Amino acid sequence: MKADVIVVLGAAVWPDEQPSPSLLRRVNKSVDLYKSGYADNIIMSGGVGRYPPAEAVVMKKIALRNGIPSDRIITEDQSTSTYQSAVNCLSMMNENKWEDLIVVSDSYHLTRSVFLFRALGKSTQGIPPDEGRGDTKLWKWVYFHLRELAALPWYAIKVAVHRIRGR
């Protein structure tokens, strides 16, 4: 599927601006998709977490080092949740008149992410990195999957409220 934009959802930045394994996997996948012609633009999304700088800033640096042109990357560096990322990226997409997106995140996170972008009105395909959990510890990977089970119904409620309020 050719899309207007690839949206890469953030993950932790470690001390000294080091990307966590999840963050690095996601950015690397977006670079591969861009270079394979899946989209002509990338939105890197993620604000400041435990360690600065913003996830989107670290993500852009990785993409630039991997040959993605700076003018093809938009940074959304204010969000600190998947919901905020979706709403902020939606605004950027609307400004650019983009309708179709590929969202890149780890497999455990894609169901909620795709649901959210679709519920907010965008044609969305989710693609995970090829490496599975990579260097992420097994206990953390299991925790992330369990957290998603709780988050999906909560996000369904948030989307319903968003629609009722009309924004």
pLDDT per residue over 6-57, tens digit each?
999 999 999 999 999 899 999 999 999 999 999 999 999 999 999 999 999 9
Residue ranges of domains in the chain, CATH in brackets: 5-165 (3.40.50.620)
Q: What is the DSSP string of 72-117?
A: GEEEE----SHHHHHHHHHHHHHHTT--EEEEE--HHHHHHHHHHH
Question: Residue 79 pLDDT > 90, yes or no?
Answer: yes
pTM of the model: 0.85
* Listed range (104-108, 132-136, 156-160) with the worst mean pLDDT: 132-136
Mean pLDDT of the chain: 91
Give the tens place of pLDDT for each residue, 140-166.
777 776 777 777 777 778 777 877 787
**Confidence band of 131 (pLDDT split at 50, 70, 90):** low
